[in-house]
């Protein structure tokens, strides 16, 4: 997929945001950390809203073959860009909240968030690709379940309530993570597999592409909601 996306683009869109976040966490100030988190979130939200409000309706007016042709060029790039922005935004936000002292006793909550995000996402991926009987998927799912069970066992004895706004933010981020990695990414993978098959079907490519464009509106709604929550958290209104 990297060749279809352009290798330089694929590497840059993954390495640059992650390197910026690592620098901000390890060596940067809170201002640097905030900038990386906010900029990744702005790009993530803006692209999703653009997909839903502009790009999707334009593509909907095209013929199926034209629509499929656009998605064949567009999807490989999105497959590298959007998951990276999502990861940097989410991980950057959690580490920033911890660093600023507004997310005390974070370990149990992070373990819960990870469990309720990763396990459903893996189940959805398995469902999309009919992989429940595939030993590779079974191995990955088993490792994830065991790892999260251990994490919960270690951290939950120290569980304590956090602020309502932090809990709401975690719920919204969980929904975004499950939707992004459990539905949107498998859709992009289905497009890629179809476009590289011996006899690509434009109808399949178009169907999954338009589904993802519509789901971007759902993502955008939750992203706008979490922006409101972030403002409340940042200025201590809740």
**CB–CB of 62/71 below 8 Å?**
no
Task: Summarize pLDDT for 67-93 with one digit per residue, the tens.
Answer: 888 888 888 888 889 899 999 999 998
With cut-offs at 50, 70 and 90, classify the pLDDT of residue 238: very low
Please report, to the nearest 10 degrees, the dihedral formed by the alpha carbons of residues 101, 106, 107, 113 taken in order: -140
The encoded tokens of residue 119 equal: 């396990």
Q: How far apart are CA 96 and CA 105, in angstroms?
A: 14
d(CA 161, CA 130): 39
| pLDDT tens per residue across span 1-33 | 656 667 788 888 899 999 999 999 999 999 999
Q: Helix 106-128 to helix 64-99 angle, to the nearest 10 degrees? A: 160
Q: Would you call 64 helix, strand, or coil by DSSP?
A: helix
- Give pLDDT, residue 236: 61
The tokens describing 79, both together, are 């497959």
pLDDT at 5: 63
Asked if 79 and 185 count as a contact pair (C-beta separation under 8 A), the reply is: yes
Q: DSSP class of residue 198?
A: S
Taking the chain, what is the end-to-end CA distance rounded to the nearest angstrom?
44
Give strand ranges (E) for 26-138.
none
Give DSSP secondary structure letters for 92-107.
Answer: HHHHHHHHTTSS-SHH
| Range name among 127-136, 145-154, 158-167 with the lowest pLDDT average | 158-167
Return the structure tokens found at 11.
């590497």
Q: Which residue has the tokens 């945001």?
A: 17
Confidence of residue 237 (pLDDT cuts 50, 70, 90): very low
């Amino acid at each position: 997929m990297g060749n279809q996306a352009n290798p330089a683009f694929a590497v840059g869109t993954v390495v640059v945001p992650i390197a910026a976040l690592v620098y901000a966490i390890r060596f940067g100030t809170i201002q640097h950390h905030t900038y990386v988190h906010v900029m990744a979130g702005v790009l993530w939200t803006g692209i999703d809203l653009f997909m839903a409000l502009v790009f999707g309706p334009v593509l909907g007016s095209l013929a199926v073959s034209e629509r499929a042709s656009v998605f064949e060029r567009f999807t490989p790039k999105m497959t590298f860009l959007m998951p990276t922005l999502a990861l940097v935004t989410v991980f950057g936000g959690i580490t920033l909240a911890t660093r600023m002292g507004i997310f005390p006793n974070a370990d149990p909550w992070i373990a819960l968030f990870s469990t309720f995000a990763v396990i459903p996402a893996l189940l959805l991926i398995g469902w999309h690709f009919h992989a429940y009987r595939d030993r590779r998927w079974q191995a990955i799912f088993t490792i994830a379940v065991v790892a999260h069970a251990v994490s919960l066992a270690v951290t939950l004895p120290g569980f304590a309530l956090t602020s309502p706004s932090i809990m709401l933010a975690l719920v919204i981020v969980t929904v975004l993570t499950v939707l992004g990695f459990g539905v949107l990414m498998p859709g992009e993978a289905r497009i890629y597999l179809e476009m590289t098959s011996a006899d690509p079907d434009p109808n399949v490519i178009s169907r999954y592409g338009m589904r993802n464009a519509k789901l971007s509106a759902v993502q955008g709604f939750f992203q706008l909601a979490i922006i409101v929550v972030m403002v409340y958290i940042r200025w201590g209104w809740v």
